[in-house]
Amino acid sequence: MTTVRKKTISKELAAQAVLDAFKKLNPVVMIKNPVMFIVEVGTFITLLLSFKPDLFVASGVSRGYNIAVCLILLFTVLFANFAEALAEGRGKAQADTLRRTKSDTMAKLVQKDGSLKQVSSTQLKKGDIVRVDTGEIIPTDGEIIEGLASIDESAITGESAPVIKEAGGDFSSVTGGTRVASDYIIVKVMTDPGESFLDRMIALVEGAKRQKTPNEIALTTLLAVLTLIFMIVIITMVPMAQYLGVQLDLATLIALLVCLIPTTIGGLLSAIGIAGMDRVTQYNVLAMSGKAVEAAGDIDTLILDKTGTITYGNRMAAEFIPVKGVTQKEVILSSLKASVKDETPEGRSIVELAGKLGESWAESEYRDAESIEFTAETRMSGLNLSNGVQVRKGAVDAVKKHVMAKGGSIPADLDEAAQRIAKAGGTPLAVSVNERIFGVIYLKDTVKPGLKERFAEMRSMGIKTIMCTGDNPLTAATIALEAGVDDFVAEAKPEDKIAVIRKEQQEGKLVAMTGDGTNDAPALAQADVGLAMNSGTMAAKEAANMIDLDSDPTKLLSVVSIGKQLLITRGALTTFSIANDIAKYFAIIPAMFILAMPQLQALNIMHLASPQSAILSALIFNAIIIPLLIPIAMKGVKYRAMSADRLLSRNVLIYGVGGVIVPFIGIKLIDLVLQGLHIV
């Protein structure tokens, strides 16, 4: 895993983040974060006061005090900027690596007359046809329209073992920047310049297009409102203090305000979001938006397709089974006829098996035949011969309907043969010539290992798993049992998959869907979290809001954990930040008023050196808590699978109660240090 996974924060990254922290001081950038913007405004005002303490109103405090407040405020802003820059840094480094992969390549454009022309990959448009030979880099994203090749995708997935890609079916998409390791392919370009997978991936890890999630926007608004409330509190304090004979000068008021507004969470909020996205990337999953990652944290239902997701998806013909009154040779020949023009892997495997069994069919006999291509709607494929004969193969119920419409009858032993295959987890395809059914083809597929344990884990997290397949109910039941999903829907057409998702969503559930086929694309788009397998089609990858580079459907489990962790981390640090601010209020107010109101002595449990020392200590604590919490913001609060209620009470205890206690200890310690250093 070279390109995508990079965990450590190097010295260069940290140095770059320090530099970026200063760049981010630009007020145009800062205003997007209202809490920290207020701190920056405070820094500016105290900077002016450092030169001219009486600039706005007559003031009794020293220049040194103003300078101290100004510097601490500046560091508060810088620490927050540093946190964000550090979180962004890893993505930027990955983007640089990916950009090197993207370097211009030459492509062999197939022209109208069939000749090849060398062009730069940047000139390729949607719809162009290119040829890529062994050892060459695939110039851009597309679908294979001819050929079968092993592709080295390590530049993108980090996985060194090449994968087989072929025309037709769900394994036909290729990605620009990957390399043909053997054989050649003819590829139809599917994206315009600048919109390829690699381009999107770069923009994504770089965070160039990062948008605040609805949750983040809501929290930012809440923090802005809190800031406003505290500003009103501070302003109304001035006449009250004057009445008591206490003079509160401007620097102190600003310092007090900054202590009270939620600077901790305000400073770390964006770093938490970026780091969450980054963690997803470390698992080799590309999330198109932070919203998708957050939604994953709250998922109730997971819908999976069967072939290619739960199984490996290399459905291969294993056996031809004739019905009574049909010979073995006849069923093989009719299967062959139904498949010679079927470019799907299933179709080709049938032709191949027929060939191994010694049957072939001269091309001259079907050259003029009309090919009936497989669709997920009809669940059949075949040929209409020029002499009017119609050969079909497909899902047993679909072929039954087809022959019955022609006035044919269903052989008595058909269901038995189909059931035998289905009970073994295979896919039976019925074969017909005109109104007569000849037999069934046994398509074999294997369930990916380790699914049962991971689905059980999802169950313990309260997530229901439903397998949705176009296959027949018996095969579906067998595979569902073997894989350990909670429920299944069989004979599902694309619109049925959407209907299942909508039904769950109407019950108020958040739904995730994983799939790989073009027929899964609408459902992937409908789901709250759509995770496409990288092995799948372009359509699936475009409709989804996440792509798993390793094509492992249980990866969703990791994404769910990261999503939950992101939500919990944000909640925990918000709780901590607000608890902190309240504690600071009680820590410093008594100290400030004590000279005027000796009765407050009872409240002055902190026994801080002086009002000024109280303010400076609280302000320093307020600043250094930000870098101290950066590791938690970046790594996330430790997450363990447990019920939401227990998690909540646990976090309120740690971060709420902790948030109240920590400032008292921290401020007292800082006050002692300042006294020891004779600063106050």
Residues that bind Mg ion (CB under 5 A): 305, 307, 517
Binding mask 373-412 for ligand ATP (x = CB under 6 A): -x-x--xxx-----------xxx-----------------
To which residue do tokens 């010694």 refer? Answer: 358
The distance of closest approach from Cβ of residue 474 to ligand ATP in the complex, given in angstroms and rounded to an integer, is 11
Question: Which residue out of 305, 445, 471, 548 is catalytically annotated?
Answer: 305
Please work out the total of residues on this chain that contact ligand ATP, with binding judged by CB under 6 A.
24
Query: For ligand ATP, which residue has the nearest CB?
Result: 470
Q: Which is nearer to K ion, 248 or 477 (CB)?
A: 248
Q: Residue 489 phi/psi, 5° resolution?
A: -125, 125
Contact partner at residue 342 from Mg ion, K ion, ligand ATP, none, CB < 5 to 8 Å by partner kind: ligand ATP
Residue 189 tokens read as: 């370009």
Q: Which is nearer to K ion, 18 or 582 (CB)?
A: 582
The two beta strands, 529-533 and 511-515, are parallel
Q: Which is nearer to K ion, 465 or 622 (CB)?
A: 622
Contact partner at residue 469 from K ion, ligand ATP, Mg ion, none, CB < 5 to 8 Å by partner kind: ligand ATP
The whole-angstrom separation of Cα 71 and Cα 63 is 12
Q: Which is nearer to ligand ATP, 171 or 593 (CB)?
A: 171
Q: At what angle do helices 34-51 and 214-243 cross, to 10 degrees?
A: 40
CA distances (Å), origin 413, targets 350, 421, 439: 22, 13, 9
Q: Which is nearer to K ion, 308 or 666 (CB)?
A: 666
Q: What size, in residues, is the chain?
A: 680
The distance of closest approach from Cβ of residue 341 to ligand ATP in the complex, given in angstroms and rounded to an integer, is 11
Binding residues for ATP are: 342, 346, 374-381, 393
Which residues fall within 8 angstroms of residue 333, CB to CB, at 6 or more apart? 354, 359, 361
Q: Which is nearer to ligand ATP, 54 or 495 (CB)?
A: 495
**CA 524, 498, 504: angle at the middle one, nearest 5?**
100
Contact partner at residue 263 from Mg ion, ligand ATP, K ion, none, CB < 5 to 8 Å by partner kind: K ion
| Element (DSSP H or E) covering residue 94 | helix 63-101
The whole-angstrom separation of Cα 431 and Cα 390 is 11
Binding residues for Mg(2+) are: 516, 520
- Tell me if 471 contacts ligand ATP by CB under 6 A: yes
Q: Please, which of residues 511-530 interact with ligand ATP by CB under 6 A?
A: 517, 519
The distance of closest approach from Cβ of residue 334 to ligand ATP in the complex, given in angstroms and rounded to an integer, is 13
Residue 583 tokens read as: 């504690």
Query: For Mg ion, which residue has the nearest CB?
Result: 517
Residue 679 tokens read as: 């600063």
> How does DSSP classify residue 136?
P
DSSP assignments along 613-655, one per residue: HHHHHHHHHHHHHHHHHHHHHHH-S------HHHHHHHHIIII
Which residues fall within 8 angstroms of residue 532, CB to CB, at 6 or more apart? 514, 515, 516, 520, 524, 540, 541, 543, 544, 546, 547, 548
CA distances (Å), origin 264, targets 223, 267, 268, 462, 668: 11, 5, 6, 33, 19
Which residues fall within 8 angstroms of residue 412, CB to CB, at 6 or more apart? 324
Contact partner at residue 179 from ligand ATP, K ion, Mg ion, none, CB < 5 to 8 Å by partner kind: none
Query: Which of 291, 306, 400, 541 contacts ligand ATP by CB under 6 A?
Result: 306
Q: Which is nearer to Mg ion, 168 or 517 (CB)?
A: 517
Closest by CA to 257, choosing from 241, 235, 273, is: 235
Q: Amino acid identity, residue 556?
A: L
Binding mask 342-361 for ligand ATP (x = CB under 6 A): x-x-xx--------------
Contact partner at residue 380 from Mg ion, K ion, ligand ATP, none, CB < 5 to 8 Å by partner kind: ligand ATP
The question of whether 305 is a catalytic residue gets the answer: yes
Q: Which is nearer to K ion, 280 or 583 (CB)?
A: 583
First to last CA, the chain: 54
Query: Which of 429, 489, 521, 549 contacts ligand ATP by CB under 6 A?
Result: 429
Q: Amino acid identity, residue 119?
A: V
The helix/strand/coil state of 551 is coil
The distance of closest approach from Cβ of residue 95 to ligand ATP in the complex, given in angstroms and rounded to an integer, is 34
The distance of closest approach from Cβ of residue 517 to Mg ion in the complex, given in angstroms and rounded to an integer, is 3
Q: Can you say how many angstroms the Cα of residue 204 is from the centroid of all Cα atoms in its chain?
A: 10
The whole-angstrom separation of Cα 548 and Cα 280 is 10
Closest by CA to 222, choosing from 577, 630, 660, is: 577
- Tell me if 427 contacts ligand ATP by CB under 6 A: yes
The contact set with K ion (CB under 5 A) reads 263, 581, 622
Residue 655 tokens read as: 């971060």
The distance of closest approach from Cβ of residue 322 to ligand ATP in the complex, given in angstroms and rounded to an integer, is 18
Half-sphere exposure of 355 (CA within 13 A, CB side): 9
- Tell me if 439 contacts ligand ATP by CB under 6 A: no
The distance of closest approach from Cβ of residue 305 to Mg ion in the complex, given in angstroms and rounded to an integer, is 5
The distance of closest approach from Cβ of residue 178 to ligand ATP in the complex, given in angstroms and rounded to an integer, is 24
| Element (DSSP H or E) covering residue 291 | helix 290-296
The whole-angstrom separation of Cα 165 and Cα 311 is 17
Query: Which of 284, 307, 551, 574 contacts ligand ATP by CB under 6 A?
Result: 307
Measured on CA atoms in the order 666, 267, 81, 229, is the torsion positive or negative? negative
The whole-angstrom separation of Cα 286 and Cα 289 is 9
Query: For K ion, which residue has the nearest CB?
Result: 263
Q: Which is nearer to K ion, 140 or 263 (CB)?
A: 263
Binding residues are: 342, 346, 374-381, 393, 516, 520
The distance of closest approach from Cβ of residue 257 to K ion in the complex, given in angstroms and rounded to an integer, is 9
Contact partner at residue 395 from Mg ion, K ion, ligand ATP, none, CB < 5 to 8 Å by partner kind: ligand ATP
The distance of closest approach from Cβ of residue 270 to ligand ATP in the complex, given in angstroms and rounded to an integer, is 39
The whole-angstrom separation of Cα 480 and Cα 309 is 12
Contact partner at residue 518 from ligand ATP, Mg ion, K ion, none, CB < 5 to 8 Å by partner kind: none
Q: Which is nearer to K ion, 545 or 574 (CB)?
A: 574
Contact partner at residue 617 from Mg ion, ligand ATP, K ion, none, CB < 5 to 8 Å by partner kind: none
Using CB under 6 A, which of the segments 111-119, 305-313, 506-514, 546-554 binds ligand ATP?
305-313
Measured on CA atoms in the order 323, 340, 381, 476, is the torsion positive or negative? positive
| Enzyme catalytic residues | 305
Interface contacts to ligand ATP, rule CB under 6 A: 305-308, 342, 344, 346-347, 374, 376, 379-381, 393-395, 427, 429, 469-471, 492, 517, 519
